[in-house]
Amino acid sequence: MPKPQHLTVNAKLFKTIAIRLAVYVPIAWLFPSFALFYLVCGLYDVARNSQLDGYTVYQYFFGRGLFTWMLSPFNIIMDIVSLPYWNKGVYRLEDLPPAHQAEVRDLIEAMKQQGLVEKIQSRLSDGAREMIFFKWYGQNIDGPIDIPEFRQHYPLIRTIGVSVFNRKKSTNRHFGPLRMTLRVLYNLNDVQSDQAWIEVGRHANVWRDEKMFIFDDTLMHQSFNETEAPRYCAFIDVVRPGLVPTLMGRLVDALGGVLIRANHIFYKNWSFIK
Looking at residue 38, its amino acid is Y
| 114 and 200 part of one domain | yes
pLDDT value at 85 more than 70: yes
| 158 and 262 part of one domain | yes
Share of the chain above pLDDT 90, in %: 45
Least confident of 60-69, 84-93, 125-134, 150-159: 125-134
pLDDT band at 242 (very low <50, low <70, confident <90, very high): confident
The β-bridge partners of 182 are 238
| 124 and 254 part of one domain | yes
pLDDT band at 265 (very low <50, low <70, confident <90, very high): low
| 97 and 223 part of one domain | yes
| 28 and 105 part of one domain | no
pLDDT of residue 127: 67
pLDDT value at 191 more than 70: yes
User: In this structure, what are the phi and psi dihedrals at residue 179, rounded to the nearest 5 degrees?
Assistant: -120, 30
Do β-strands 169-170 and 157-165 pair in parallel, antiparallel, or remain unpaired? unpaired
Rounded CA-CA distance 72/47 in Å is 12
Residues of the domain holding 186: 90-272
pLDDT of residue 263: 58
| 135 and 260 part of one domain | yes
DSSP structure class, residue 192: -
| 101 and 153 part of one domain | yes
DSSP structure class, residue 171: P
Does residue 83 belong to any structural domain of this protein? no
Residue 147 or residue 128, greater confidence: 147
pLDDT of residue 109: 92
| 21 and 113 part of one domain | no
Q: What 3-state class would DSSP assign to 31?
A: coil
Does residue 43 belong to any structural domain of this protein? yes
Sign of CA dihedral 75, 76, 80, 86: positive
| 108 and 200 part of one domain | yes
| 181 and 256 part of one domain | yes
| 28 and 142 part of one domain | no
Residue 93 or residue 230, greater confidence: 93
Counting the structural domains of the chain, the total is 2
142-160 pLDDT, tens digit each: 888 888 889 888 999 999 9
pLDDT of residue 268: 64
Under 8 Å between Cβ of 183 and 236: yes
CATH number, domain with residue 113 = 2.60.120.330
| Contacts with 111 (C-beta within 8 Å, 6 or more apart), sequence order | 162, 186, 188, 234
Does residue 79 belong to any structural domain of this protein? no
Does residue 76 belong to any structural domain of this protein? no
Among candidate residues 70, 101, 126, the one where a domain is terminated: 70
Closest CA to 109 of 149, 154, 144, 145: 149
| 32 and 118 part of one domain | no
Rounded CA-CA distance 32/34 in Å is 5
pLDDT of residue 261: 60
Looking at residue 53, its amino acid is D
DSSP H helices, the chain, are 5-30, 32-47, 54-62, 66-70, 72-82, 98-114, 116-121, 148-151, 245-259, 263-266
- Please report, for residues 77, 97, 241, 256, the alpha-carbon distance to residue 153 in angstroms, rounded to integers and kept in the order given: 26, 19, 18, 14
Q: How many residues does the chain have?
A: 274
